[in-house]
């Protein structure tokens, strides 16, 4: 009988990448679209398995058509849970 280690719980913050305004503007349009698509897909996966209770700010920004960058490097992540 093998001992299978318990899997650590992954949070949305673990799979979310934050960009500063400067970094965001260095991305080309296709990269921005890919980022938005991946963030929304990841969020929907977390919701489907019951992990995301509150909607992360980055998801709100994307849904409202806003640019999802953070204020400065090192600023606390807006990708909770």
* pLDDT score of 39 more than 60: yes
Distance CA 13, CA 60 (A): 15
Distance CA 65, CA 75 (A): 22
| CA nearest neighbour of 78 among 66, 61, 65 | 61
At residue 72, the pLDDT reads: 65
* pLDDT score of 27 more than 70: yes
At residue 71, the pLDDT reads: 79
* pLDDT score of 80 more than 50: no
Question: Tokens 């009988």, residue?
Answer: 1
Distance CA 4, CA 51 (A): 23
Q: Which has the higher per-residue pLDDT, 52 or 71?
A: 71
């Amino acid at each position: 009988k093998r001992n299978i280690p318990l899997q650590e719980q992954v949070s949305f913050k673990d799979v979310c990448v934050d960009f500063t305004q400067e970094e965001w503007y260095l991305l080309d349009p296709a990269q921005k679209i890919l980022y938005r698509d991946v963030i929304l897909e990841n969020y929907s996966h977390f919701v489907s398995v019951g992990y995301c209770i509150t909607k992360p700010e980055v998801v709100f920004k994307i849904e409202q058509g806003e640019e999802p960058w953070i204020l400065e490097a090192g600023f606390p992540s807006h990708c909770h849970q």
